[in-house]
Amino acid sequence: MVMEKFKFKFTKSYIAFISICYVLLFAAIILILLRISGAFNLISYSLAGDILTMVFALIFVAIITWVVIDRYYRVKNGNLTLSLAFYVVCIPISEIQLVQEDKKSGTIAVYYNSTKKDTPVIRVMPINIDRSENEKFVKVLREVNPKIIYKTIDITKKTEDTEN
């Protein structure tokens, strides 16, 4: 049984979004604390409302921290699983047809069969892992399903290499 875990790599846009969320949440928490304490002549008209707002802000901080910490791809029991905290996607590796890697950017796309309302469709899942893990990732998938086609492309040169 093959079991490998690959860490999800955040892109620059994920990092920017998460950073903005943290800054806004901590600014809200500080502002609420200043209102409750009465500093700078800030008046709290509803202590219960301020406390409830503080609780929600802390819950959002916990959720964002959970997403930052608990993120990975796992190959286990014949499935490829993406976990981003509470968001989990599971794909049977037997349904994967093609793994395509862009050599310039190092990004990987997994093409797999899916059924939507009894209609077969081919879906694509981008894989965000460290570039140094790409070869190992493809190898692990092909150990489970040797029928997976591995294709490398170079978008800038518009060339393809296929490995069966």
Tell me, letter by letter, the H, E, C secondary structure of the chain: CCEEEEECCCCHHHHHHHHHHHHHHHHHHHHHHHHHHCHHHCCCCCHHHHHHHHHHHHHHHHHHHHHHHCEEEEEECCEEEEEECCEEEEEEHHHEEEEEEECCCCCEEEEEEEEECCEEEEEEEEECCCHHHHHHHHHHHHHHCCCCEEEEEECCCCEEEEEC
pLDDT of residue 161: 65
pLDDT of residue 24: 94
Domain locations along the chain: 94-163
Spatial distance between the Cα atoms of 21 and 94, rounded to a whole number of angstroms? 38
pLDDT of residue 111: 93
Local mean pLDDT, 10-residue blocks, the chain (164 residues)? 82 90 93 83 79 92 90 91 88 92 88 78 88 92 92 74 65
pLDDT of residue 39: 78
pLDDT in tens, 65-91: 998 888 899 999 899 999 988 888 899
pLDDT of residue 163: 67
